[in-house]
Amino acid sequence: MVAVRPSSPLAGSVTVDGSKNAALPLLATAAALHRPVHLGNVPANTDVETMLTLLQQAGWHTARPVRDAHPTVLLPSDKPQSGPDPEVAARIRASYYLVPALLGAYGRARLPWPGGCRIGERGMEQHFKVYENFGDRTTVDDHGYLVEAGAGRTGTVSLALPFRSRGATVAALLRAVVAGRPLRLGQPNLSPEVLSVVEALQTAGWECRVSEPVLALAPPTSVSGEPLAWAVPGDKVEAGTLACAVAATGGAASILGVRSDDVAPLVTALRWLGISADIEGDTLTIQAHNAEPTGRPLRAIASLAPGGLDADFEPSLMALALILPGTHLFADAINPGRHSNLLPQLARLGAEIQELSPTECRLTGPQRLTGAGVEATDIRTGSALLIAGLTAHGVTTLGGLEQLRRGHADLPTKLHALGADICEVTP
């Protein structure tokens, strides 16, 4: 566990790791293309390591060269493999990204139900509808699901998602790649993570037309066997967590390695609260030492709409809002179990948060928090508790670091580099 005490204003500069949420679908994209891919800026968190293990178990060759630590994903071996270990695959949610690659390599994909953070149901219905539109057959049982590739069909696959599901959008893109068929996908998810997949496919020769109503994909006219070179974008959520920590302590810092569009909704929220936040190039700058809180109510509503507030920003903003004046509303219907994780842990620190529904809550700040023992029950709850611990009176001890490290290789070290009073302790 780690111990956190109130810190002097955080200051300095720090570079974020590559994004876990972008790295996982990019690794699956590399596998689906059946071409050598050199993928840079891959983070070393445990979810990514698990995905690399699953690829190896399914027959892909992966390597992390010692000099640059960037994995290389190669073609599957000629020798059939037993496939991903269900026990390993159940550790992460993103195992479902591997279905198209497994269909292309073996004609079938047998996987357990998605695991990872316990923040709500991990529905697969939209994924299954995607595969059915490609002629695949899906069967389910208590242990997971089996997808079997259908007979070779041709022509454009057209379907519309009932909501902008990131997982189902990636599933449709990668299934089209494996089938070599054009795709017209209505109401796609256009998050930065999906757009990273689109950009990667474009480097492989696929024609992509992106708009809010329809995402269109067409196969390349010719296929080269040359290795592809991609890079994982910087982790926008890690950048947001660090930015809220700097703001909460009244500090001034530069956070490097993040794309401006990826953090634009967070920057808007911080400015609304009276925190000076600017993004230029790949650097997010927070100047909170002379901040004058506006007292205006923040409405942090998680959204799948293009340009909406990513649900993973919400917990860090909640921890920040606890010490700022105003009555603030938070809602996350995308992950319906997240508040049931986060709110009881913040309550241990003395936070008073009114739960309006399982997915909506309201709080009025500023509040006085007191250090206590808390638990990172999921990745983003752990991040928010670190921020709260920086402002609470006394010592806050955070357990459950294995959850935090699923998404961040070492977030406490980055906070320490900015001056946070934080260290690892023996329980």
- Do 104 and 149 fall into the same domain? yes
Rounded mean pLDDT, 171-179: 97
Instruction: Give me the mean pLDDT over the 351-364 stretch.
Output: 96
Asked whether the predicted pLDDT for residue 231 surpasses 90, the reply is yes
pLDDT at 334 over 80: yes
pTM of the model: 0.94
In three-state secondary structure terms, 58 is: coil
Closest CA to 27 of 63, 69, 66, 73: 73
pLDDT at 175: 97
pLDDT value, residue 35: 86
Instruction: Tell me the pLDDT band of 153, cut-offs 50, 70 and 90.
Output: confident
Q: In the prediction, which pLDDT does 416 show?
A: 96
Q: Are residues 109 and 163 in the same domain?
A: yes
What Cα–Cα distance (Å) separates residue 370 from each residue in 289, 327, 354? 23, 20, 18
What is the DSSP-derived secondary structure letter of residue 59?
Answer: T
The domain in which residue 371 lies consists of 2-17+234-424
pLDDT in the model for residue 223: 76
Q: Which token pair is 155?
A: 């022509």
151 and 170, same structural domain? yes
Q: Mapping DSSP to helix (H, G, I), strand (E, B) and coil, where does residue 154 land?
A: coil
Q: How far apart are CA 367 and CA 360, in angstroms?
A: 19
Consecutive H or E run containing 278:
strand 276-280
In tens, the pLDDT along 258-316 reads 999 999 999 999 999 999 999 999 999 999 988 888 889 999 999 999 999 999 999 99
Please check the confidence at residue 64 and state whether its pLDDT lies above 90: no
Q: What is the C-alpha separation between 172 and 159, in angstroms, rounded? A: 9
State both tokens at 359.
């997915």
Q: Give pLDDT tens digits for 302-318.
A: 999 999 999 999 999 99
**Do residue 383 and residue 258 come from a single domain?**
yes
Closest CA relative to residue 184, chosen from 137, 133, 223, 147 = 133
Residue 415 phi, psi (nearest 5):
-65, -40
pLDDT of 68: 56
Write the CATH number for 208.
Answer: 3.65.10.10
The closest alpha carbon to 290, from 278, 276, 280, 279, belongs to 276
Q: How many CB atoms lie within 10 A of CB 66?
A: 6
Whether residues 255 and 222 share a domain: the answer is no
Burial of 162 (0-12, 13-18, 19+ CB in 10 A): exposed
185: nearest Cα among 114, 129, 135: 129
Domain count, the chain: 2
Task: Calculate mean pLDDT across residues 193-208.
Answer: 97
Name the domain boundary from 188, 203, 231: 231
Residues 59 and 138 in one domain: yes
pLDDT band at residue 74, thresholds of 50, 70 and 90?
A: low
Q: How many CB atoms lie within 10 A of CB 34?
A: 18
Residue 263 and residue 168 share a domain: no
Q: What is the pLDDT of residues 11-48, one digit of tens each?
A: 999 999 999 999 999 999 999 998 889 999 999 999 99
pLDDT of residue 72: 72
Task: Read off the tokens for 58.
Answer: 């399914």
* Tokens 């920003």 -> residue: 313
Predicted pLDDT of residue 118:
67
Q: Write the DSSP symbol of residue 132.
A: H
Tally of helices (H runs) and strands (E runs) in the chain: 14, 23
**Of the residues 231, 258, 280, the one at which a domain ends:** 231
Same domain, 342 and 280: yes
pLDDT confidence of residue 226: 82
